[in-house]
Structure formats: structure tokens, C-alpha cells
């Protein structure tokens, strides 16, 4: 079993739709959680950190559930420019270990 | 925000030659840098953790004698692919551990290596 698992998708949704991704992690000692976005042939870019209290940034909402060991990302009112691969990232203690999920591909259609 | 650069951005080399890729943190010091490899339509795979002033820590299955890592200063780590083969063709990305208030990783723009 992979330490960080994501549904690879692809998710193909119409513009304006709401879409949600989940990511599960197996190591209960995981400390920090992030969502990154990666466009084709580009490096990943930090989208948002994920906290137990949840956090929201515009149309994006991230949640962490430590008890069930998963994090989620919700995108509301999706735009064409949201099309990308979304990577779930988990770090351990001193961040000496960084684990990437395999990514979820999202495609927004007009 | 924190900036990480990589050089070169792309390189084509012949089989058997060696290629050096540089990763620099431009506006902060990074005691730890990470090297990743990404094949088409796959996720990033951590190759090694580069620690300033000490030996790199390689992930299982990554040959340390083939992928030489040197982290000589707090702003520069290099990855040398020795005796490159076509199967080494990939997108190599570095990241640096920016220790502001978070454990965020800042990524370089990547180096696309093609071995002919």
C-alpha cells in the first residue's frame, strides 16, 4: 500500500462545477499536509497548506481529518484555468521525509 | 516569495556522457534540498535528500554512484547523471526546504533531460 494515495482521475467536469478530491495517508506520525498544483511539463506549485481547522482561499477549501487520516480539497465554481494535476503532499516530523501522492488530474471543460 | 532556480532548463546529451544539473536557492539558505524525477504522466519520485556539508541520502532503488549529489553551500546543490542512458531521460526537479514558519517546499522549474 502506498503511503499517500490519491484517486488518479481524470476528473472531467464542466466549468462552474464543484469538484472534490480526497487523499489518504497511512503514517499517523505525518505532520504537515499540503496541496500542490502541477501544470503539464511544469514544476509543482504550492496551492495551499492544510490545517486541522480547515482553511479556505477563495474558491479553494482544504480540510484535514487526522482521525481518518485523509485530507481533502474542494474547488467551487471551477474555471478552465483550474485544469491541472493536483498533488497531495505529506511530510513527517522535521520534513526530512516528503511524500507525494501520485496526483489527481482535473480537466475543466467549457 | 522564495525562489529556486535550476540550470539548465533542458539538455540533450549522448548516451555515455555525464550531465550536471544545478539547483540554487536565490533568496534564502537551504540546508536541505531534494531531487526528484518525473516520467511522463507519472508523479514525482523522490530520488535523494541533499544535505549541506554531508552526504546525500538516497531513496531505495536510486544508484548513488550514478546520480552524484553535491551540496557544497547553503544555496547550491548539484545532481550529476553519470554515464547517462536513454532510460535516464526524464524531468528532474529540485526543491528546497524553506524554513520560514512552515515546512513548505519551493520547487525549481525543472530540467528536462533527453539522452540520445
CA-CA distance, A58 to A13, in Å (whole number)?
A: 19
- Partner-chain residue, chosen from A34, A43, A89, that has the shortest CB–CB distance to B110: A43
What's the DSSP call for residue B96? E
**Which strand ranges, in their side-by-side order, compose the sheet holding B76-81?**
B4-7, B19-25, B76-81, B67-73
Give dist(CA B99, CA B76) in Å, integer.
Answer: 16
Asked if the Cβ–Cβ distance from B44 to A87 is below 8 Å, we say: yes
Q: Name the nearest CA neighbour of A78 among A23, A22, A13, A9.
A: A13
Instruction: Find the distance separating the first CA and the last CA of chain A, reported in whole Å.
Output: 37
User: Which residues of chain B, if any, have pLDDT below 50?
Assistant: 100-102
Say yes or no for a CB contact (<8 Å) between B104 and A31. Answer: no
Task: Render each residue's pLDDT in chain A as its tens digit; 110 residues.
Answer: 778 999 888 999 999 999 999 999 998 888 889 999 999 888 898 899 898 888 999 999 999 999 999 999 999 999 999 999 999 998 876 556 778 888 999 999 99
Contact status of B103 with chain A (Cβ, < 8 Å) = yes
Question: Which positions in chain A touch B42 (Cβ < 8 Å)?
Answer: 102
Euclidean distance between CA atoms B59 and B36, whole angstroms: 10
Q: Flag if B103 and A101 touch (Cβ within 8 Å).
A: no
Amino acid at each position: 500500500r502506498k503511503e499517500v494515495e490519491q484517486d488518479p482521475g481524470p476528473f472531467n467536469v464542466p466549468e462552474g462545477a464543484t469538484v472534490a478530491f480526497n487523499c489518504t495517508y497511512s503514517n499517523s506520525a505525518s505532520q504537515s499536509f499540503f496541496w500542490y498544483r502541477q501544470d503539464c511539463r511544469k514544476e509543482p506549485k504550492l496551492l495551499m497548506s492544510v490545517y486541522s481547522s480547515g482553511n479556505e482561499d477563495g474558491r479553494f477549501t482544504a480540510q484535514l481529518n487526522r482521525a481518518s487520516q485523509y485530507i481533502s480539497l474542494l474547488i467551487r465554481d471551477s474555471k478552465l484555468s483550474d485544469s491541472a494535476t493536483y498533488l497531495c503532499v505529506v511530510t513527517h516530523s522535521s520534513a526530512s521525509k516528503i511524500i507525494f501522492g501520485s496526483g489527481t488530474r482535473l480537466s475543466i471543460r467549457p | 516569495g522564495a525562489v529556486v532556480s535550476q540550470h539548465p532548463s533542458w539538455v540533450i546529451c549522448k548516451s555515455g556522457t555525464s550531465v550536471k544539473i544545478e539547483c540554487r536557492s536565490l533568496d534564502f539558505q537551504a540546508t536541505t534540498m531534494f531531487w526528484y524525477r518525473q516520467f511522463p504522466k507519472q508523479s514525482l519520485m523522490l530520488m535523494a535528500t541533499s544535505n549541506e556539508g554531508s552526504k546525500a541520502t538516497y531513496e531505495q532503488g536510486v544508484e548513488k554512484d550514478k546520480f552524484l549529489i553535491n551540496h557544497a553551500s547553503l544555496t547550491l546543490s548539484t545532481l550529476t547523471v553519470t554515464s547517462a542512458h536513454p532510460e535516464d531521460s526524464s524531468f528532474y526537479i529540485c526543491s528546497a526546504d524553506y524554513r520560514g514558519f512552515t515546512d513548505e517546499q519551493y520547487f525549481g522549474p525543472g530540467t528536462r533531460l533527453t539522452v540520445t
